């Protein structure tokens, strides 16, 4: 057989197998392309969620600062100062609550917190911890507290009652803190929550991702709160390739499929 005849046979075999090869290349291109697009979408979704998480952290920080600042300003009011100076804890608490919009219960307790320690479970450990932290740090602080079978935002600050150390506490609506989560742009199929310890203060998105949400969590300053976030797992690309590499390879394979047809 001459070289010319052999070349013709090879050319004929190639032409006969070209459609099958083109289909194989096209399938590979689709596989790599699908993986690349999936990874790109996952990266974009995680970027959007991270932005929402950071928005939640900034908003929660600002909300807490606004409430503690409001408490500090109200403590400076003449009616509050007069009641504190005279040792009238009930009048001071009433004046505090009256000057803070949406305020619920207000209290002024002596620094020994005897009433709280007498029945700590009924008083609430979170509320007790908040009062202790206010006196320890010497500034107004805020935290999520459970009281009367409901969850609230509590704010507390150290004060002086008739010359003796004491602490003031005011209960506020939890929405003052959680409203920012309602406004966050949480992408579909993801999860975002505001947590205090192991308790979800508020959450949005796919609750099935809650267990892995601390992986992308970020602390809300030193408040004990954190923004927890999670995205669903996405399979790695073929041979461990990243999204961009998969998409580039998909284009090359598609071009090869066209070329051999």
What's the pLDDT tens digit per position in 71-94?
999 999 999 999 999 999 999 999
Interacting residues of 162 by C-beta distance below 8 A, sequence separation 6+:
84, 85, 86, 87
**pLDDT level of residue 148 (50, 70, 90 thresholds):** confident
Q: Order of strands across the sheet with 106-110? A: 106-110, 164-172, 150-161, 141-147
Angle between helices 89-98 and 78-86 (to 10 degrees): 170
Query: So what's the pLDDT on residue 188?
Result: 85
Confidence of residue 14 (pLDDT cuts 50, 70, 90): very low
Average confidence (pLDDT) over 191-208: 92
Pairing of strands 191-196, 218-219: unpaired
CA 230 to chain centre: 9
Rounded to a whole number of angstroms, the distance between the first and last alpha carbons of the chain is 28
pLDDT band at 241, cuts 50/70/90? low
Average per-residue pLDDT in the chain? 82
What's the pTM value of the predicted model, to 2 decimals? Answer: 0.76
pLDDT given for residue 189 in this prediction: 87
For residue 116, give the 3-state DSSP assignment.
helix
Given a cut of 90, whether residue 191 has pLDDT beyond it is yes
Torsion of CA 58, 224, 172, 168, to 10 degrees: -120
Cα dihedral sign for 86, 91, 94, 98? negative
Q: Which pLDDT band, with edges at 50, 70 and 90, does 222 fall under? A: confident
Higher pLDDT, 1 or 172: 172
**Tokens coding 104:** 């619920």
Asked if 260 and 18 count as a contact pair (C-beta separation under 8 A), the reply is yes
Mean per-residue pLDDT, 186-192: 90
């Amino acid at each position: 057989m001459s070289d010319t005849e052999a070349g013709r046979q090879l050319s004929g075999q190639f032409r006969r197998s070209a459609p099958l090869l083109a289909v194989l290349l096209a399938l590979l291109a689709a596989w790599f392309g699908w993986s690349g697009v999936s990874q790109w979408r996952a990266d974009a979704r995680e970027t959007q969620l991270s932005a929402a998480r950071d928005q939640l952290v900034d908003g929660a920080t600002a909300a807490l600062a606004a409430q503690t600042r409001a408490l500090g300003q109200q403590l400076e009011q003449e009616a509050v100062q007069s009641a504190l100076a005279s040792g009238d804890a009930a009048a001071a608490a009433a004046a505090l609550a009256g000057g803070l919009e949406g305020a619920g219960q207000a209290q002024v307790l002596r620094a020994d917190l005897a009433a709280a320690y007498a029945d700590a479970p009924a008083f609430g450990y979170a509320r007790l911890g908040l009062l202790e932290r206010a006196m320890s740090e010497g500034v107004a602080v805020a935290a999520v507290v459970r009281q009367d079978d409901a969850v609230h935002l509590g704010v507390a600050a150290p004060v002086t009652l008739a010359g003796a150390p004491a602490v003031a506490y005011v209960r506020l609506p939890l929405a003052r803190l959680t409203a920012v989560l309602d406004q966050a742009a949480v992408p579909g199929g993801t999860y975002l929550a505001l947590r205090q310890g192991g308790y979800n203060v508020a959450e949005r998105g796919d609750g099935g991702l809650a267990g892995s949400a601390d992986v992308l969590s970020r602390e809300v300053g030193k408040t004990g709160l954190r923004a927890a976030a999670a995205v669903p797992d996405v399979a790695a690309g073929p041979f461990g390739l990243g999204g961009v590499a998969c998409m580039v390879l998909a284009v090359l394979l598609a071009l090869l499929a066209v070329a051999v047809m």
